[in-house]
Chain A
Amino acid sequence: MIVDEHSRRTNIEARPPGFVSGLLRLRRAPWEMVATILIGAGVVMLMQPLSIDLYGWSFAVILGGTAMFLVVSHFPD
């Protein structure tokens, strides 16, 4: 758990970083969330009946999301 100076003085545990600050500080949870959204979006693009262009890009999106997931799962908590 991250404890900042104010929290140490007041003996209160700090909250975990927010989504954007977690992304900027290369924390695992928010980046895994981004990778998960990419994979999910890619699967939807692969199977949707609306646009063949979206279907054409689906594999690249899934591959990108999966590669990202593999990398960011090694980021610190």
Chain B
Amino acid sequence: MTEASTTSRPGLVEQVIRRHPDPVSVRFRGLSDRTIAWLFISPTIVLLLAINLFPLLWTVYLSFTNYRANRPNAELRGMGTTYYEQILSDPDVWESMQATAHFVIATIAIETVLGFAIAYLIDRKFRGHAFWTTVILIPMMLPPAVVGNFWKFLYQPQNGLFNAIVAPVLGVSPGSFQMLGDVQLAPWSIIIVDVWMWTPYVVLICLAGLRSIPDYLYEAAEVDRASPLRQFWSVTLPMALPFIMLAVLFRGIENFKMFDLVNLLTSGGPGSTTEVASITLKRAAFESWRTGYASALAVILFVTVFGLANIYVKALNRVKQR
């Protein structure tokens, strides 16, 4: 645009300036773009620190005191590492850790085998495979509160669907056994629900692993006249293994923290048969009101999960590098 034309229409420049305001850094004179960016994201960072970091640090602090949430005005005394020593020498807490271990090992073993098998079947194209994939994934999408409540109905000894189906298979009457009330069966009732709910998650991860295997590997195996079983052991399984490990690690961390399903189905009972670590924590914090003790247990569980999460991130990076 020439000077003549600009001067001939004096309002045009003002109109352009009005429509295209100055860059942010020009308007906030003296501040760099980086500073302005920090200004914009700082409220979010402050909020995240307030809701994530502060409770964590406060819990660590409380774990060294005799604080009780039901007596907030009582005198606060430092307890040092007393609660940690109590927890790490308490046979009841040790037992709850073992109950957690049983639950974690059983669910992971079943979910991995079942999840990989279903993923292997779904990976092969068949009629209506998209529909069945969606159907299989439904349990994972339901809220745990809903799942816990409707499985409680399914497990009813007199009129529950589970007993009605299983009893004829075992040749006993439906009312003769209680899944949630029996010491032997209660842990398995929770394992069944967790497997039902979270196997689809393992299916999804395994499916991603199976679909990432390039076809030329199978073509090369066929040229070498490898049998389908040999192809499975030498191509499919090694290539999908990092994904399977990822699923195992992720479900392990999640099940170590399991609370909602156990609380809804058995609340740790009968007795303390299904009392996993998170239920012990809840009982110490909100039934015995030993907040300092419960905080120490929470810190122990947090450090354990944090350590496992580090391994998880490392495994995830390894999968990404492939």
Is B304 in contact with A43, judged by CB distance below 8 angstroms? yes
Is A46 in contact with B91, judged by CB distance below 8 angstroms? no
Chain B contacts for A58, CB-based, 8 A: 88
* B68-76, B97-105, B180-188 - the one binding chain A: B97-105
A37 CB → nearest B CB, Å: 10
| A49, CB-defined interface residue at 8 Å | yes
* B233-241, B262-270, B308-316 - the one binding chain A: B308-316
Q: Write the chain A residue with the least CB distance to B315.
A: A36
Given contacts A43-B304, A46-B304, A62-B304, contact A55 B94 (CB under 8 A): yes
A40 to B307: give the CA distance in the assembly, Å. Answer: 8
- Using C-beta atoms within 8 Å of the partner chain, give the interface range for chain A: 20 to 34
Chain B contacts for A43, CB-based, 8 A: 304, 307-308
Interface string of B251-287 (1 = CB under 8 A from A): 0000000000000000000000000000000000000
A55 to B308: give the CA distance in the assembly, Å. Answer: 17
A67 CB → nearest B CB, Å: 9
| B84, CB-defined interface residue at 8 Å | yes
* B-side interface mostly: helix
| B154, CB-defined interface residue at 8 Å | no
Chain A contacts for B100, CB-based, 8 A: 47
B198 CB → nearest A CB, Å: 20
Is B303 in contact with A59, judged by CB distance below 8 angstroms? yes
Instruction: Find B97's partner among A47, A63, A65, A69 (CB 8 Å cutoff).
Output: A47
Q: Write the chain A residue with the least CB distance to B88.
A: A56
Chain A contacts for B98, CB-based, 8 A: 47-49
Given contacts A47-B98, A47-B101, A59-B300, contact A39 B88 (CB under 8 A): no
Chain B contacts for A65, CB-based, 8 A: 307
Interface string of B15-46 (1 = CB under 8 A from A): 00000000000000000000000000000000
A35 to B306: give the CA distance in the assembly, Å. Answer: 13
A-B pairs with beta carbons under 8 A, tally: 53
Is B94 in contact with A39, judged by CB distance below 8 angstroms? no
Chain A contacts for B91, CB-based, 8 A: 52
Interface string of B77-93 (1 = CB under 8 A from A): 00000001000110100
Given contacts A40-B311, A47-B101, contact A66 B89 (CB under 8 A): no
Is B89 in contact with A39, judged by CB distance below 8 angstroms? no
| A30, CB-defined interface residue at 8 Å | no
B202 CB → nearest A CB, Å: 20
Chain A contacts for B304, CB-based, 8 A: 42-43, 46, 59, 62
Within 8 A of A (CB), among B218-235: none
A39 to B256: give the CA distance in the assembly, Å. Answer: 15
Q: Write the chain A residue with the least CB distance to B97.
A: A47
A52 to B89: give the CA distance in the assembly, Å. Answer: 7
Is A66 in contact with B314, judged by CB distance below 8 angstroms? no
Within 8 A of B (CB), among A23-77: 32, 35-36, 39-40, 42-43, 46-49, 52, 55-56, 58-59, 62-63, 65-66, 69-70, 73
Instruction: Find A55's partner among B88, B303, B311, B314 (CB 8 Å cutoff).
Output: B88
Is A36 in contact with B314, judged by CB distance below 8 angstroms? yes
Is A62 in contact with B303, judged by CB distance below 8 angstroms? yes
Q: Write the chain A residue with the least CB distance to B104.
A: A47
Instruction: Find A42's partner among B307, B310, B314 (CB 8 Å cutoff).
Output: B307
Chain A contacts for B84, CB-based, 8 A: 59
Is B88 in contact with A59, judged by CB distance below 8 angstroms? yes
Chain A contacts for B104, CB-based, 8 A: 47
B201 CB → nearest A CB, Å: 21
Give A contacts to B, CB under 8 Å.
32, 35-36, 39-40, 42-43, 46-49, 52, 55-56, 58-59, 62-63, 65-66, 69-70, 73
In the assembled complex, 8 residue pairs joining A and B whose CB atoms fall closer than 8 Å, in A order, are A43-B307, A46-B304, A52-B89, A52-B91, A59-B304, A66-B303, A66-B306, A73-B310
